[in-house]
Amino acid sequence: MRENPPLRTVIAWAVITVLAVFGIFAPSIFGMDGFKGGYAISFLSFFMVIAGIIVIAIYAGRAKAVNRILRSDNLLAHWTYAPDEWNKYAEKEYVTERKVKRALFYVIAGFALFFGVLFFIIDRESGKWVLVMMLVLIGIIAFTAWFTSWYNYRQNKKYLGETYITSESVYMNRQLHTWHGLGARLESVNLDKKGEQQILELTYSAPTRTGLQDYTVRVPVPKGKEKEAAKVLEKFSE
């Protein structure tokens, strides 16, 4: 797994940004009347440039982090998996992720529905729009929860897993999890020995618009690597 997906994203958005820069000046270059679509094209292209710069800045950092992991000589672990054990993990992870996201969805949807109904009771006229917005929000959250679980499952089934673990990040099956910089930090590390396959669970937090949010990455331990996993846990405990 020597590929660097964030780097491909950077390249793609760099091309889009260059085209958007050209789009800003295209109406004047081709003599297009501003009031007949020229200003709209320039305005839209300008915002595409801003969006492109933001996306490139974010993914350039992630591409650099992935590249650093792939070239690192100080890995805590580098694991590959047999097809059968990776498939078992993929199926179990899909069930686990769906349960976690379903529980989170019920909590958020419950609060949204409660406040939507509350505003509707207080003020029928304006409250109905609040209720509609809350129902739309619930729909968006439901789709997001379903799509992210499905996409991760699809990626796990499409690619045979491989994991790189460093002191500041995990790069597993083309997905980067890092707690280095920007206020992120590692919260806990646990080795789950239940079941046939041990799971190394790393929970980290990262800042979002609403405050710190926790993320958990569950790394399967390959057969024969149980002692190495224990050493990784010990290293993090230090």
Q: According to the model, what pLDDT value does residue 37 have? A: 73
Q: According to the model, what pLDDT value does residue 108 have? A: 87
User: Residue 4 is inside which H or E element, if any?
Assistant: none
Decide: pTM greater than 0.75.
no
pLDDT(231) > 90: yes
Please give the single-letter amino acid code of residue 225: K
Q: What percentage of the chain reaches a pLDDT higher than 70? A: 98
The average pLDDT across 167-194 equals: 87
pLDDT(1) > 60: no
In which band, very low, low, confident or very high, does the pLDDT at 210 lie, cut at 50, 70 and 90? Answer: low
3 state DSSP class of 20? helix
pLDDT(122) > 90: no
Joined together, the tokens standing for residue 186 give: 């590692």
Task: Kindly list the distances between the CA atom of residue 200 and the CA atoms of 65, 90, 180, 189, 223, in Å, as whole numbers in the listed order.
Answer: 21, 15, 19, 7, 13
Q: Please name every residue paired with 77 in a beta bridge, in sequence order, or none if there are none.
A: 165
* Torsion (CA) 167, 226, 218, 2 in degrees, nearest 10: 60
Taking only the tens place, the pLDDT of each residue in 32-63 is: 877 777 788 888 899 899 989 998 998 888 88
Q: According to the model, what pLDDT value does residue 220 have? A: 93
In which band, very low, low, confident or very high, does the pLDDT at 17 lie, cut at 50, 70 and 90? Answer: very high
In which band, very low, low, confident or very high, does the pLDDT at 209 lie, cut at 50, 70 and 90? Answer: low
Average pLDDT in the chain: 87
The average pLDDT across 207-215 equals: 76
